[in-house]
Structure 1
């Protein structure tokens, strides 16, 4: 289970909205001095706040410190869906257009059409799965207030 701490900012029936601080690992990287991401981290751009809806059966109120979690396999499957499927759509459409002996500009156009079609498919699948409780983050426990940023 991947865990993240945060603070409750809104309460719904069976769920809470949690504000988390997105952190970068640039401070521990050995090449952070020569990296654009490291420069952004030093400028303060890396520490943005995000809001996550998490299922909860605990009695929580606004301002409570909590630890939320999501299963690792869900994160891996979601990453593959978001990154790999559109890329596969791009290559599949380009290869199909190439096999059909289309001109190069049309192959490029078909590749972008495949990318867009696959991205729309991912969006459709994500919208269908958005309400599934098995795929949602959950509140694991209430945390001690001093442990949350």
Structure 2
């Protein structure tokens, strides 16, 4: 089970809108200064993802929830997104190479197969997303924000 904390935006009729922060791929490694992934993450936009998750328990905006999704679900999605265009690319490129016998035909077939595979993955993804087994679930719920209190006076007295 892959777990991630999210913040509740709203809750209505058993459906919670939650926001998950996009995290950089690394932030605590000893080689942060020379890491290419860290540099690339700084270039891209730091966005948030908003998703709907069923919740029978009433939730309050600002409340933290822990979401979980099965590893099998994530692998299925990754296979669909990455392997379908790749399979289309190689298959159609090989067919065009066999039929027309030129590298230009193979290149054209590769482009058509890659785009076709992408379109197939795009068409299949809503059907897969509708399955309950592939949906994230709420594993645990944190306290509402109005119940949390941080007492800074006691920590200042001890110093």
> Which TM-score band (shorter chain)?
0.7 to 0.9
Segments of structure 2 that go 5 or more residues without pairing to the other structure are 149-159
Aligned pairs for 1:20-99 within 5 A: 20-40=20-40, 43=42, 47-99=46-98
Q: How far off is 1:45 after superposition?
A: 5.6
Which runs of no fewer than 5 residues in structure 1 stay unpaired? none
Q: In terms of Rg, which structure is larger?
A: 2
User: Following TM superposition, by how much is the alpha carbon of 1:40 offset from its aligned partner in structure 2, in angstroms?
Assistant: 4.8
Contact 2:80–2:121 (Cα < 8 Å) also in 1: yes
Structure-1 separation of matches of 2:103 and 2:121: 27
TM-score by length of 1: 0.83
Distance change >3 Å, CA 98–CA 31, structure 1 → 2? farther
Per-residue Cα deviation, 1:13-63 (whole angstroms, up to 9, x for no partner): 33211112222242233433223332355x596753222222222221222
Residues 29 and 104 of structure 1, relative CA distance in 2, 3 Å threshold = same
In the other structure, the counterpart of 1:103 is: 102
- Rate the CA distance shift 1:60–1:46 in 2: closer, same or farther, 3 A: same
Distance 1:52 1:44 in 2: 24
Equivalent residues of 1:24, 1:46 under 8 A apart:
no
Structure with the larger RCO, 1 or 2 (CA within 8 Å, 6+ apart): 1
CA RMSD of superposed structures (Å): 2.3
| Partner of residue 18, structure 1 | 18
What TM-score, normalized to structure 2? 0.78
Greater Cα offset, 44-53 or 97-106: 44-53
Aligned residue pair count: 145
Moved more, 101-110 or 32-41: 32-41
Check if 1:112 corresponds to 2:90.
no
* Cα distance, 1:138–1:36 mapped onto 2, change above 3 Å: same
SS of the residue aligned with 1:24?
coil
